[in-house]
Chain A
């Protein structure tokens, strides 16, 4: 796995996708890592950086998909081309890409790691859920995607034999996927202060204990009865 580095990267550009924003950074010496791994991105004017999984790895760039819902994400989405921000990563584990019959499952801003994952897995089928059609504009980032809108949830349209599910989305969605598909790979989310095991802020119940998502995740595996386990 590539070693994490911290560098000050230059903003290459940003685009809006429905209500979301893609922020593209010149890659510098940072490795894009494996799909599912994440980066801590400096939020200008804020005390703490913010964690984002990599959305796309265009040549020489790292691209992140953000939902500007708080002061940190809004500050990052307001970055202009040429601005510079510190980025640390790649951090945590990634999805296990050794899968025979992948099905990507995503919900809302949780589709963020799926474009890069899709590229690395050779554009497998995907099933994406969104609040409404505006949010669903982001589905264009994921090839071969079937889209459902609320009140329909992705777990309602999962095939009976879903294959190897690789999911990312809101916690209720991941919990529902975990109950439906034991063995599914789930990229979990939690507030993080540091991203490298220092703060103990991001704990999730893993293997029955409160463990740090940044160290033991963020990709976890659905165990029996909807519990989640560490991948290794």
Chain B
């Protein structure tokens, strides 16, 4: 059995790069909000030595235009679709979940409970999950921040509220300063940090959550090779997702898929799925 590989939300536009999207086991959309959003001012990205910061700010068409224009085009790709759901209140999230209820081709709703680049909803993650659970029978994955003080406790809370799975992790808030002006590089000052430096942090979150709850986990954060993906599976991920690596290498998915199985065999395992939870035993 092979381990499924997805993209991390916001790290691929399936309509701009359909040939990349078709190599995925499922495509995760950029976060959809109730209203259209122009996103944050520029500069929005900054590279650092071991990762990158982004401050996109959930730019997107809003749920109406998404359902009318984007979703039909996405469905035509023939890849299972996960919709990333965002908002600024529990009712925002629930309204989007309700809108997508009648789209059978939307396989999973991933609740983005952790965007570091916009104002957060006042409700706790579990309250938002509960509101979405009441609005939808679809599979709900809760995407959590690595900056959560106790990820195991958060995992238990969203599980109790009705989440069917966890997406771990989102980016972590970071700051870059211009080396000459010593002012923040990003217009919104702080941004979400991703890439190689996030990987051990993500691994720790997946490990802690997998120890705490019996839910499927999408593990992501700095995966750039099959070896990295295998480690994420061993730490408790059932599925892995690629983010920053796709920016520099749109073909990373095929490479990592091959490397993942090779890495598993190099560890004496029959396949990559056999590595699941090995680190927890």
Residue numbers of A with Cβ under 8 A of B are 6, 40, 42, 46-49, 71-72, 86, 88, 190-194, 196-201, 203-204, 209-210, 215
Contact = CB atoms under 8 A, between A and B. Distances in A.
Nearest to B197: A47
17 contacts: A6-B249, A6-B250, A40-B248, A47-B47, A47-B244, A48-B247, A86-B249, A88-B250, A190-B42, A191-B46, A194-B248, A198-B246, A199-B10, A200-B10, A201-B54, A210-B38, A210-B39
B247 A194 contact: yes
Contacts of B72: none
A47 B44 contact: no
A47 B249 CA distance: 11
A197 B16 contact: yes
* Interchain residue pairs A-B with the least CB separation, the first 3: A197-B16, A201-B45, A194-B247
Given A47-B195, A47-B196, A200-B44, A193 B247 contact: yes
A46 B38 CA distance: 29
B250 A47 contact: no
B42 A198 contact: no
A57 B52 CA distance: 32
Interface in B1-56: 10-13, 16-17, 30, 38-39, 42-48, 50-52, 54, 56
A200 B51 contact: no
Contacts of A46: 47
A42 B229 CA distance: 22
A191 B13 CA distance: 18
Given A47-B196, A198-B246, A201-B42, 7 more contacts: A6-B249, A6-B250, A72-B47, A190-B42, A196-B17, A198-B250, A204-B42
A6 B50 CA distance: 23
Interface residues of B, number: 31
Nearest to B248: A49
B248 A201 contact: no
Contacts of A210: 38-39, 59
A210 B58 CA distance: 12
A191 B195 CA distance: 17
B251 interface: yes
B43 A6 contact: no
Contact of B47 (A40, A48, A197): A48
Given A42-B248, A47-B248, A48-B52, A199 B16 contact: no
Given A48-B47, A193-B247, A210-B59, A199 B39 contact: no
Nearest to B51: A47
A210 B38 CA distance: 6
Nearest to A88: B250
Contacts of A196: 16-17, 250
Interface string B40-82: 0011111110111010100100000000000000000000000
B47 A199 contact: no
Most buried by A among B13, B48, B196: B13
Nearest to B244: A47
Nearest to B246: A198
Contacts of B12: 198
B51 A198 contact: no
Contacts of B54: 193, 199, 201
A91 B196 CA distance: 26
B193 to A, nearest CB: 11
Interface in B242-257: 244, 246-251
A209 B17 CA distance: 21
Contacts of A197: 13, 16-17
A193 B250 contact: no
Contacts of A199: 10-11, 45, 54, 56, 247
A197 B247 CA distance: 9
B220 to A, nearest CB: 15
A204 B38 CA distance: 11
B111 to A, nearest CB: 20
A210 B11 CA distance: 18
A49 to B, nearest CB: 5
A71 B50 CA distance: 12
B224 to A, nearest CB: 9
B16 A198 contact: yes
Contacts of B47: 46-48, 71-72, 193
Nearest to A199: B247
A37 to B, nearest CB: 16
A215 B247 contact: no
Contacts of B48: 47
A198 B195 contact: no
B17 A200 contact: no
Nearest to A45: B49
Interface in B164-220: 195-196
